[in-house]
Amino acid sequence: MTKITSLDTTLRDGMQAEKISFSVADKLKIVQILDRLGVDYIEAGNPASNIKDEEFFREAKQLTLTHAKLAAFGSTCKKGCPAAKDRNLLKIVESGAPVGVIFGKAWDMHVTEVLITTPEENLRMVSDSVKFLKSSGLEVIFDAEHFFDGYLRNPDYALAVLQAAENAGADIIALCDTNGGMFPDDIAKTVQQVTKTISVPIGIHSHNDSGLAVACTLAAVEAGAAHIQGTLTGIGERCGNANLSTCIANLQLKRGYDLVPDLSLLTTAAREVAEVANITVSGLPYVSKSAFSHKAGMHIDAVLKTSASFEHIDPSAVGNHRNILVSEMSGKSGLLPVIRQIDPTIEKDSKELKRILDRLKELEYEGYQFEGANASLELVIKKALGLYHPLFELKQCKILAEQGETPRQGYASVIIKVQVDGKEEITAADADGPVHALDIALRKALGAFFPQLAQIRLQDYKVRILNSEATTGAVTRVLIEMTDGKSSWSTVGVSTDVIEASRQALIDGIEYQLLREQV
């Protein structure tokens, strides 16, 4: 198998995405996740740009990595400044990272209009910067910024920039589609031309502004690139970077390249990184729940008979699993495998199966939706099979809501009484809204009996009005997603009262996790 090296830039380029921020502890945790997966390089930040990244590299010296190499990021030296005196480059050396990733301009327009210098000075900056880092004992990856745009307009100069980096000793030269505007065929043709001129390994760094970052990365590898860059969940500036989890899975499973030692760790790694980033992997190929989800009855029946009928790979190859969505569309074929996970003795002609299916149809008619509420579905099945035993009882719930001086100044307090094995616990909580206060109070009261609930938090909350024509009396469906940091589960509640619907979903979510821990 041909080896393709990978660089994950979640901790640098990924942090340029909207609403993404990592603490030093977060960054250290993600480094360990990526190292366990087996990426080759982890671009961990720019030590010259902020105090946090400086602190990270100090802390990272205590890490023992088994596979990946840490890389410190920065630019070439400034115009008119010797590389050995450039603060940027000195910080990369001082970081202690064994790899330096530096970017330099490969588009002459950027050289003259952004850097406001001469093409010759830019080549000097590239050459001297690479030489300095090499003389300091670092492995050097040179990112040719805006390379493809530069090559289209002035190929001779764009290649001259690469040659300057190569002659100075760069170990890898990554071609950057910085604006994310290239098509895969343009990328492939250019990479083929570059590999005829440059002898060091060529890499690809694609942005997703045209929705083609993964396709461009794959095209570059097929054309001769031996190094890929991206972020494991696709986050990054503007529309994001190439989704590294998708690239790795496609190249290793479908083209036979060697990228990571154990691809079955991919789904867990992507979800763990997403958890630290406080995002979801919803909808992502290979690593999301929906990647191998089946809803239509005929599809479910077919995939249960022959997996290849509706699955392009075995989900376990990437550490994922099949997800059968139960709805009025799925029928017995869709429901049976879900029930068998709870009671393996149930058969297709069992009266229990028909009873559960009829109950689900009744609930969906009322407004419940179970395809996105796996935990509530499991509780419905257990209740129908006589396998449900409540672990607690909500004896009292009083909610007080107040409105502040402005529309955004909401305030709510909740008084809760719960009973567990005959013992009662009363507590109260307040927050900026009734659902938030209810969530805090429930877990606070039950925490006296189940301390493990401290690890649970609300991850997502969705409200949908089902019959808007009923105005204020409309039926409301609430979908809640909870997590303990390792896995997530979803529940549903339905009522004409949004607070009551929320209460149903919250209690289901807590009960589901407590019952699961008993197994």
What is the identity of the amino acid at 280?
T
pLDDT on residue 119? 96
Terminal C-alpha separation, the chain: 42
| Residue 300 predicted with pLDDT over 70 | no
User: Measured at the alpha carbon of residue 156, what is the angle toward residues 151 and 158, in degrees to the nearest 5?
Assistant: 45
pLDDT on residue 332? 65
State mean pLDDT over 195-215: 97
Bridge partners of residue 144, in order along the sequence: 104, 175
State mean pLDDT over 245-253: 98
- Which residues 6+ apart lie within 8 Å of 515 measured at CB? 379, 382, 391
When pLDDT is cut at 50, 70 and 90, the band that residue 304 belongs to is low
When pLDDT is cut at 50, 70 and 90, the band that residue 405 belongs to is low
pLDDT on residue 296? 64
Show the domains of the chain with their CATH numbers: 5-277 (3.20.20.70), 289-366 (no CATH), 393-518 (3.30.160.270)
Token reading at 5: 């090296």
Q: Ranked by mean pLDDT, which of 219-228, 289-298, 447-456 comes out on top?
A: 219-228
- Which residues 6+ apart lie within 8 Å of 411 measured at CB? 401, 402, 403, 404, 430, 432
When pLDDT is cut at 50, 70 and 90, the band that residue 331 belongs to is low
| Residue 336 predicted with pLDDT over 70 | yes
- Which residues 6+ apart lie within 8 Å of 99 measured at CB? 41, 69, 70, 71, 72, 138, 139, 140, 141
Q: Are 162 and 173 in contact (CB under 8 A)?
A: yes
- Tens-digit pLDDT profile for residues 256-271: 999 999 999 999 999 8
- Tens-digit pLDDT profile for residues 151-166: 999 999 999 999 999 9
State mean pLDDT over 485-497: 87
In angstroms, the Cα distances linking 378 to 340, 372, 387 are: 11, 12, 10
Cα–Cα nearest to 6, from 208, 251, 209, 240: 251
Token reading at 305: 């008979």
pLDDT on residue 458? 85
| Residue 407 predicted with pLDDT over 60 | no
Q: How many CB atoms lie within 10 A of CB 496?
A: 15
When pLDDT is cut at 50, 70 and 90, the band that residue 346 belongs to is confident
Percent with pLDDT over 90 in the chain: 59
DSSP string, 469-505: GGGGG--EEEEEEEE-SS-EEEEEEEESSHHHHHHHH
State mean pLDDT over 180-202: 97
pLDDT on residue 330? 55
Q: Are 213 and 241 in contact (CB under 8 A)?
A: yes
- Tens-digit pLDDT profile for residues 224-243: 999 999 999 999 999 999 99
Q: Are 252 and 260 in contact (CB under 8 A)?
A: yes
pLDDT on residue 1? 83
Q: How many CB atoms lie within 10 A of CB 336?
A: 21
pLDDT on residue 10? 97
| Residue 431 predicted with pLDDT over 90 | no
Rounded to the nearest integer, the mean pLDDT of the chain is: 90
Token reading at 133: 């880092």
Helix axes 331-340, 374-384, angle to 10 degrees: 80
Distance CA 274, CA 33 (A): 11
Percent with pLDDT over 70 in the chain: 92
- Which residues 6+ apart lie within 8 Å of 246 measured at CB? 214, 234, 284, 285, 286
Q: Are 415 and 425 in contact (CB under 8 A)?
A: no
pTM over 0.75: no
Distance CA 245, CA 6 (A): 11
| Residue 406 predicted with pLDDT over 90 | no
pLDDT on residue 303? 67
Q: Ranked by mean pLDDT, which of 177-181, 314-318, 421-425 comes out on top?
A: 177-181
- Which residues 6+ apart lie within 8 Å of 270 measured at CB? 232, 233, 245, 281, 284, 287
Q: At residue 423, what are phi and psi to the nearest 5 degrees?
A: -100, 140
Cα dihedral sign, 325-327-331-335: positive
Distance CA 170, CA 133 (A): 9
| Residue 307 predicted with pLDDT over 80 | no
Distance CA 194, CA 213 (A): 19
**Pairing between strand 41-45 and 69-75?**
parallel
State mean pLDDT over 76-94: 96
Distance of CA 229 to the CA centre of its chain: 16
State mean pLDDT over 411-425: 90
- Tens-digit pLDDT profile for residues 435-481: 888 889 998 999 889 998 888 888 888 888 877 676 767 888 898 98
What is the identity of the amino acid at 329?
M
Q: How many CB atoms lie within 10 A of CB 344?
A: 7
Poorest-confidence range of 211-215, 332-336, 433-437, 485-489?
332-336
| Residue 138 predicted with pLDDT over 80 | yes
How long, in residues, is the chain?
Answer: 519
Token reading at 42: 């982890």
pLDDT on residue 409? 59
Task: Check residue 96 and give left, alpha or beta (phi > 0: left; psi -120 to 50: alpha).
Answer: left
